[in-house]
Structure formats: C-alpha cells, structure tokens
Chains A and B, each alone.
Chain A
Amino acid sequence: MSSAGDLLHVVTNDSISAGRKSFGRAIIWGSAGVLVLVAALQLAQVLGWQDLGFQTWRPTLYAYVLWAICLCWGQVLLHGEHGKRTLFVLPAALFVISLTVFPLLFGLIIAFSDWNLSSPTGRQFNGLANVHQMWADPFYWNAMLNMVWYTLAILVEYAIAFGLALALNAEIRARKFFRVAFLLPLMLSPVAVSWMIGKSMLEPRFGPIARLSRALGWDNPSFFESPWIAKLTIMLMDAWTFIPFMMIMILAGLQAIPKELNEAAKVDGANGWRAFWEVTFPMMLPVSITAILIRIIFKLKLADIVINVTSGGPGGATDTVTSFIFREYRDRSNVGYGTLLAMVYLVVIVIAMTVLMKLADRFARPRT
C-alpha cells in the first residue's frame, strides 16, 4: 500500500480549543516525566546511591505503560479526528517497538559481556572475548552448516507439497476428509510430535517404523546414531509437520488459476505433463516463492523437535542454531555468549533473507 493519500477521505472541521491542546501536551509530557523520574530513582537504587526499597523494576514498567496510554490519548486530544486515525496503528506499533527494539538494544549490551546468570558477580563487559570464542567454536559453525542442509530440504518438501496439492485439486470424492487429514500434522505441537514419532515410533526395538524397516531388510534400524541418518530423520519429522502448510498455500494458488487456461492448453494439444510445466507451474511461480520464503523463515526457527528428540546429538549432527543456544544457556547459563551467537545468527538471517527476497523478486517477475 504505497499509494499517497488516504483511500478513505474524511473531511472534518476539528476546532480544537487551546485548552484541550495544552491538556494533551501536559499529559504526554507529564507521564513522560513520571517515567523518567521513576526510572532515575530505580537507577539510583541499583547503583547503590540510595535505598528506596524497590525490589524490582516493576514501577518503571507501570510508568512506561502509563506513558504509552497517555501518548495514545494525547493523540486524540491534540489532533482530533486525525489523532483517532493514528490510534489504529499506534498501539500495535508501541507494543512491537517496546517488545523488540528495547530487548534487541539490551541484547547488544549483553552480547558483549561475560554474564553467567547463576554466578553472583553479575555482568562484566568483556569486549570482543565472546566474538573470539565464537570464532573458535566448531559446534556453532557446525550448527550453522546444519541450518543450510535443513533449509535445502525445503525443496524436497516443496515438491511433495506440490504433488499433494495437485492431487487434492483434482476431481476427487471425500475432498474434505483428505483436507482435514492432511492438515492435522500441522496442528500438533512439535513437542508431542517429537514424542509420538521421534521417541516412540522410531524406537529401535518396538517402534512400528523400526519394525517396518526390519521387515524391509534393514537389520539393525537405528535412526539417531549415524550423523546423516539422524539429520535425515529430523528433516523427515519436520517435513511431516510442515508439508501441510506449503500444501495449503499451493492449493490456494491452484484454485485461483482460471480453468480456461488448462482447457486452452488441452485444446492446443498439450498433454498433462507439458500442460503442467508450461501452464500450471509458471502460473504458480509467485505463490510457490511466497510459500518457500515463509517456509524458510519457519525452518530457521526449527528447535523444538531437535531439543526434545536428539538434543543435538550425535556429536552435534542434528543441532540447529536455536537448539545449540538453548543448550548453551541450559547447561552453562551463559547469557552473554548465547546472546552474541543469537545476534550473529540474526545478522546472517537478515542478510540471507534480503538476498533471497531480491533474487525471488527478479525470478518471479513475469518475463515479457
């Protein structure tokens, strides 16, 4: 929505009195003053200048909430009808800013310090020591590499999802049943899935999948012992939960293709295979790219299954960056180092996604 000007034109003659305006300014600045004052008092307490009996930073939080409310209210007081428009977006914007921007800035400070939550010494700046540690940490880079493999698995998932969407889009009976059945894996929590499949069905002695693979001639099925099989198993479990997601997006795209196109292709003598590659697939390119990009975003957050099934083993073969940092915190409660790793990960993701989106944009543009 980049068009200039409102889609909805509202003409009002607001006559806002000077008193109302000054009241509006007063509550905004007044509450800001309260916020600053409370924060300053708490800071004084933390730095040990004065003991004012604050246990936590809660009062500052309340002052912040008060300021946010006053800011929203003040918009209406100051700008009348225009302020009421601002009120649509402002609460969400304030919410997101206060919950991401502040923690991220705070995280930057943490990232460059040595901070063990369980040790009494508290936080100490240690400059670039964390960076050096990260540079020499083979497990972190291994986890990064694993993320590349996991992301590449999306291509296979996409092919399967496309096939299923085509099957669902065909003239079939009981479509609703199949849709519900295909959707169900997406609804299940990854933690439950990691027990249901990872721990019980893949159990090497009695699990049904182990039994099946023994019947098929694999003598000693073990799914989590050799690195590549373990990685593959994690990929399969993740694919099982997320294929429905891609399938539904592709199905929506398929249903939006006008039927005439395929009929025209048929009249022109294209058989099913050629009609697919020359009509359906190119038509589906934008939807496919959206689906794959969103899927990549979700894949980069992959952790729950890994944490619960293999906890990164064997030897870090299944580690994702998230699960690695999770264990880094769980085992060593090393907040500083973990945060640095996460920050580096964020930078890598942002760069990678920007490049991917640019490439996708160029690729998806209709060729003339």
Chain B
Amino acid sequence: MTETPPPPAAAQIFYDSPGDQAFRVRWWTGRATVYALLILWSFICLFPIYWTLTTSFKMAPDVMKGHMLPWVDFSPAWLGWRSLGLSPDTWGDESTVRAEFLKRFSNSAIVSVVSSVLAVVLGSLAAYGLSRFSYKFAWMRNGDISFFFLSQLILPPVVLALPFLVLYKELALLDTRIGLILLYTLSVLPIVIWIMRDQFSSIPTELEEAALVDGLSIWGAFVTIILPIALPGMVAAFILSLVLTWNEYFFAALITSTHANTLPVMVASQTGSQGISWWSMAALAWAAILPLIVIGVVLERYIIKGMAAGAVK
C-alpha cells in the first residue's frame, strides 16, 4: 500500500489513511459486538416470558415436541386459559377457578397498593423531616435515626416471620389483609426513605424559606410547595414498593392460609400439586406477571429513577 505511486489527478484526492481505515474496522466490530451483546441479553431476558405466554396456548403434544412458534409449528388453543376460566368462550360461565384467581388477584392488588401508599406517606414524612430539621430523640440524633430506618433493610424477613406468626395468632390478625399490609409496609419503608431522602435533599431550602416568609406554616409549605416538586420521586418509590410487595411470597406463605392469600401463594400452591398441566400453569403464571410487565413497560422511567437514587451522590 505504501509503495503505490501518487494517484492520477482524476482519482480521489482526499482519502483515508490506512490508520484511519483500521480505525473504521475497529469501530464497526465494536458496534457489532455491542449490538450482539445487547440482542443476546434481551433474548435471555425476554425468552422465558415469551415461552410462558406461548405455552399457555399450547396443547399437550405441542409441549412434548417443543414447538415454539405459534401458527408456524403449532396452532394456538385456549386450553390453558379455559382451565382458568379466562378464555373467551368460558367468560360468561361460572368458574370456581376464575373466582379463586380473581380473589387472589384482588387480595394482591389491595395489599400491595395499600401498603405502598402507607409506606410512601410514612417514609416521605420521615425523610423530609430528617432532611430539614435536626432531631434529638433520647441519645439519637439525625444520623442515628436515619441509620435506624435504613438498617431495617438488613433485617432478613425470616427473623420477623415466626415472632409475627405467634403475635398475629394472639391478635387474631393471622390470615387477614391488614396483617399483611402492616408487614409489607414495614419491609418497603427503608427503601422509600432511602429514595425520598435523596429526593428531598436535592430540593433547595430557600423554597420553604420563601414560603414561610409568605406566612405558610411548615406543614403548609411542605404540602403546597415541596410535595409537588418531590412527586416524581414519590411515584418512583411507590412503583418500586408496588413491585416488591406484589411479588412478596415468604410472609404471605407463612401467615395467610385461605382468606388473604395473595397471587404468588396461589401460583406456588399450584406448582406443588401432582401432574401439573403445563398450559394452565403457564396461563396462571402469565396472568400473575402481566400487571408487572405492563408497569415495567409503561413506567420504566420511574423504576430506573427510583433504583438509581442513592447510587450517585
């Protein structure tokens, strides 16, 4: 290459030096690796979800033969959804399985929404107070109080589980939604405080000072000025709590039995039974994760915001 005579005048005058061309090749291979990696990992992430969805439309032979593509190598049937009473042709009929499913679903929804709201309210108040005022409860100052709240994160659920089981038995809270709500609020509270503390400390105190000069009380300034600004953070904390409480299995399996069962408990109890029919399990599992997939796709921005809080100081 280096020995070639200078190009005739008609030929290209400006051309990339060999060094630049090598760079080009490197750039393209770099691109290709990045995209290959991204596509491979998205496949790993999405395939189980896709597999479950398609399995819920398969019939026994399709499962055995490992057919994967609907309409190409198997024809979708409503088998799995029919057994849940959720297919179009069974929609009008009575179905005990569907009633059971809807009951569990509403339990899950009520418990997770109420406990998330409760955690966000309690956690935001505490985080705001800790970011603005200095407290002294007995020997505990602000740093200690924050640490006290955040240290609850370390507490493994199993430590609380058995004492709570006994306590709830005495208090007749076993197998009630209120019992679950209390426990779930407790378990997500540290995370909410973690996110909200970050959120409030990024809001300048001059805002409240101005509001106070204008004659608002502390709580008035908090509700009318600060809350609207901190709303995205609160939504992030709420969504994250919602995800965690919706998925919680351990406490629900221990302290509920018939009335307050949540969806994960129902899914788990079906798994254990003998002779699982794949299609109905797949339909059930998919119905259980569907709300979260919707939340994940629609509110992805908030979830990422919530999890990134505190990562970057």
Q: In the complex, A349→B151 CA distance in Å? A: 12
Q: Least Cβ distance of A333 to chain B in Å?
A: 10
Q: Least Cβ distance of B169 to chain A in Å?
A: 8
User: Using a CB-CB cutoff of 8 Å, which residues 167-205 of chain A contact chain B?
Assistant: 167-168, 170, 172, 176-197, 199-201, 205
The interface on chain A, measured as residues whose beta carbon lies within 8 A of the other chain's beta carbons, has a size of: 110
Check if B247 sits within 8 Å of A326, measured CB to CB: no
Check if B217 sits within 8 Å of A84, measured CB to CB: yes
Q: In the complex, A57→B166 CA distance in Å? A: 12
Q: In the complex, A325→B143 CA distance in Å? A: 34
User: Using a CB-CB cutoff of 8 Å, which residues 221-247 of chain B contact chain A?
Assistant: 243, 246-247
Q: In the complex, A178→B36 CA distance in Å? A: 12
Check if B254 sits within 8 Å of A326, measured CB to CB: yes
| Residues in chain A near residue B141, CB distance under 8 A | 2
Check if A287 sits within 8 Å of B312, measured CB to CB: yes
Q: In the complex, A199→B267 CA distance in Å? A: 12
Binds B, one of A26-34, A128-136, A149-157, A300-308: A300-308
- Residue A335 CB within 8 A of the other chain: yes
Q: In the complex, A249→B30 CA distance in Å? A: 24
- Residue A342 CB within 8 A of the other chain: yes
- Residue A44 CB within 8 A of the other chain: no
Chain A at the B interface: mostly helix, strand, loop or mixed? helix
- Residue A4 CB within 8 A of the other chain: yes
Given contacts A184-B293, A187-B292, A206-B63, contact A89 B129 (CB under 8 A): yes
- Residue A163 CB within 8 A of the other chain: yes
The interface on chain B, measured as residues whose beta carbon lies within 8 A of the other chain's beta carbons, has a size of: 109
Q: Mark B140-160, 1 if CB is under 8 A from A, else 0.
A: 011101101100111111111
Q: Mark A78-121, 1 if CB is under 8 A from B, else 0.
A: 00010011111101110110011011101100100001010000
| Interface of B toward A, CB cutoff 8 Å | 30, 34-35, 37-38, 41-42, 44-49, 51-52, 55, 63-66, 68, 122-123, 125-126, 128-135, 137, 141-143, 145-146, 148-149, 152-167, 169-172, 182-183, 185-186, 189, 193, 201, 205, 208-209, 212, 217-219, 243, 246-247, 249-250, 253-254, 263-265, 267-268, 271, 276, 278, 281-282, 285, 288-289, 292-293, 295-297, 300, 303-304, 307-308, 310-313
- List 12 additional A-B contacts (Cβ < 8 Å) besides A10-B218, A184-B45: A1-B142, A107-B159, A110-B162, A167-B38, A189-B289, A196-B49, A206-B66, A211-B66, A256-B312, A304-B249, A322-B158, A346-B159
Can you name 5 A-B pairs with beta carbons within 8 Å? A103-B164, A194-B268, A249-B308, A322-B157, A339-B162
The 6 closest A-B pairs by CB, nearest first: A88-B129, A252-B308, A189-B247, A92-B126, A107-B163, A103-B163
